[in-house]
Amino acid sequence: MIGRLATIIKGRAATALAPPRDPSRGMTESQRAEAQRRRAIETGRNRLLFTGIMFTLAFAVIAGRMVDLTVLKGGETQVRQQARMARTAPLEMGRADIVDRNGVVLATSLPTVSLYANANEVLDPEEAAAKLVRVLPDLSRADVQARLSAPRNFVYLKRNLTPREQYEVNALGIPGLYFERGERRIYPHGGLFSHVLGLTDIDNNGIAGLEKTFDGLLKSGTPLRLALDARVQTVMRNELLRAVETFSAIGAIGMVMDVHTGEIISMVSLPDFDPNNPGATTAENMFNRATLGVYEMGSTFKLLNTAIALDSGKSTLQSVYDASKPLRVARFTISDFHGKNRPLTVPEVLMHSSNIASAKMAIDYGTETQRAYMGALGMLRTAAIELPEVGSPLVPSPWREINTMTISYGHGIAVTPLQVVTGVSALVNGGILRPATLVKHEPGAEPAGQRVLKEQTSYQMRQLMRLTVMGGSGSMSEVPGYHVGGKTGTAEKLGAGGTYRRKSLLSSFIAAFPMHDPRYVVLAMIDEPQGTKETFGYATGGWTAAPAVGRVISQIGPMLGVPSTTEDQAEAVLPIRYLHTLTKSTASASTE
């Protein structure tokens, strides 16, 4: 088009500038004057037309060049610049989400950019550093200047910029600065699931918790659905925080397990940390007390001890053990915290948490039987769970008679809280041990489990656990309508010299509900609680952990669809007419 226009202009120009022919020959003087006037007008018109066309052409050329630069070539330039700014090709989110059993997102990835520089292209490192620090005040000017002064083609200046930070850096127009596209792992619930989920490193590789265990799966883009319930987890954490504050404790542990599937519905370890800001945490906060910590669990072990005695046939519910005075074995003395100083039936042993009677019960069935049952119940091996942070139990070797006696009431063996929850689940679910899992089972894919106790033994243990709440040390865990059963535990912690510290307690309560058909086991442990005026100075499990478990059950029962227990159901588990029989001491029936 521009070429054709130039041809027209040249023709016009030639016409306008060529010497005019003399048309005056044969004309009169007046005709000649008129012809000259017309020629003068025509010449002026042609010259004006030529000038206008030249201006039009000039503006057309300028406009065309502007369009070429800003629209056509400008777009190509912008694409090239964007390609240089991105160190890699456009990135899709590679790490899949982690969700709870109801589809609530617990961990996800968001697109982000990181600022890097080709230091060889930075014209003035000092000026560039000064400008960058103005828009990124968390950077060190000296450090940025040093990085930009080094003869390197690639150096990170800051990871994970916000959109505003990226805009402000880009607006500086500093040569040699580029943006790298990537993704950042985000945990919407902060510290709520921190010990279970773990975290990723700066390059989005799993380095702890489930992020580490399932690193390959998540990188492949496959989402991970957990057995955890965000609602239950929130309730458990809130109640543990309340207990820690009330009793000035240093930490706490809480778990909820489905006794029929082994699924962990909640797992809390306090103190916890925010995986969105791992640099601000400490090693203590990152320690998962629920699976990595091993502890002497105290009187919660009396549940296992009693189950062994009943299942092995060495004791019955009517068996009686004399707890009227302390038991002395060599240099050791076994006594009761609040002894009844009289013979006790097996139900009373649990109700009043007698160390003396428990030790005598263990002597009856013997060391080999204890070791065999403890192994079957999962107390002698590392718990099976999908976490890399799992502690191994501390088991006596050699396993002497004194160990058998102390293990009966939870001393002399150290296990993880997860092991206790798994073992007690087998006690109440009919005698089937199922491995704990943090991953939700597909319907119909629940593991068959392994029988470790007779069904009759499981039924009897449900009776005894219910009785302990109704009239024993676990009474403060009672929840109207939910038929709770359980057992308290209070263990003194070992000091640096291997001696027990009387004021450093690990107080716990483990419960199951509803006892006519148990669905969940709930554990709460409070680390070094201090007695209060309201607890009359006591910091034992019955005063600290049992109330917390009761509050948890009262809230999660409706959430999980557990119906209230009817009177007929309650009577089926623990007939009222048998209560007196189960708690009546008869010295003549002693099995000692």
Structure tokens at 328: 């002395």
Contacts of 467 (CB under 8 A, 6+ apart): 347, 350, 351, 485, 574, 579, 582, 583
Q: Which of 269, 299, 319, 354 is catalytic?
A: 299
Residue pLDDT, tens place only, 350-378: 999 999 999 999 999 999 999 999 999 99
User: Active-site residue 194, yes or no?
Assistant: no
> Do you know the residue count of the chain?
592
Least confident segment among 293-307, 404-418, 488-502, 512-526: 488-502
Pairing verdict, β 105-117 and 155-161? antiparallel
Query: Helix (H, G, I), strand (E, B), or coil: what is residue 240?
Result: helix
Angstrom distance (rounded) from CA 395 to CA 305: 16
pLDDT at 279 over 90: no
Pairing verdict, β 224-225 and 520-527? unpaired
Q: Count the neighbouring beta carbons within 10 Å of the beta carbon of residue 302.
A: 27
Angstrom distance (rounded) from CA 124 to CA 130: 10
Burial class (CB in 10 A: 0-12, 13-18, 19+), 166: middle
What's the whole-number mean pLDDT along residues 507-520?
95
Q: Which residue has the higher pLDDT, 98 or 35?
A: 98
Say how far residue 212 (Cα) sits from the centre of its chain: 12
Q: Which residue has the higher pLDDT, 47 or 293?
A: 293
For the chain, the distance separating the N- and C-terminal CA atoms, rounded to the nearest angstrom, is 117
Contact predicate 379/307, CB 8 Å? no
pLDDT at 443 over 60: yes
Contacts of 547 (CB under 8 A, 6+ apart): 243, 476, 477
What's the whole-number mean pLDDT along residues 449-476?
93
pLDDT at 299 over 50: yes
Pairing verdict, β 327-329 and 520-527? unpaired
Structure tokens at 470: 């109704």
Mean pLDDT, rounded, of the chain: 86
Q: What is the CA radius of gyration of the chain?
A: 41
Closest by CA to 353, choosing from 468, 444, 249, is: 468
Backbone dihedral angles phi then psi of residue 222, each to the nearest 5 degrees: -90, 120
What's the whole-number mean pLDDT along residues 342-353?
92
Contact predicate 74/81, CB 8 Å? no
pLDDT at 454 over 80: yes
Closest by CA to 430, choosing from 302, 258, 255, 259, is: 259
Least confident segment among 102-116, 252-266, 491-505: 491-505
What's the whole-number mean pLDDT along residues 507-513?
97
Residue pLDDT, tens place only, 465-475: 999 998 888 89
Run of H or E residues at 16: helix 2-17
H runs (alpha helix) in 86-153: 125-135, 141-149
Contact predicate 409/308, CB 8 Å? no
Pairing verdict, β 520-527 and 251-258? antiparallel
Contacts of 558 (CB under 8 A, 6+ apart): none
Contact predicate 313/435, CB 8 Å? no
Percent of the chain with pLDDT over 90: 65
pLDDT at 96 over 60: yes
Pairing verdict, β 327-329 and 332-334? antiparallel
pLDDT (0 to 100) of residue 332: 83
Domains by residue range for the chain, with CATH: 98-224 (3.90.1310.10), 233-272+295-589 (3.40.710.10)
- 419, 421, 424, 425: CA torsion to nearest 10: -110
pLDDT (0 to 100) of residue 52: 72
Confidence grade of residue 83 (pLDDT, cut at 50, 70, 90): very low
Closest by CA to 309, choosing from 509, 448, 499, 453, is: 453
The sign of the CA dihedral 450, 379, 292, 519 is: positive
Contact predicate 493/500, CB 8 Å? yes
Residue pLDDT, tens place only, 192-238: 999 999 999 988 899 999 999 999 999 999 999 999 999 999 999 99
H runs (alpha helix) in 345-480: 346-351, 355-365, 367-376, 401-407, 417-428, 455-471
Residue pLDDT, tens place only, 147-162: 999 889 999 999 888 8
Q: Where are the beta strands (DSSP E) in 76-163?
A: 98-99, 105-117, 155-161
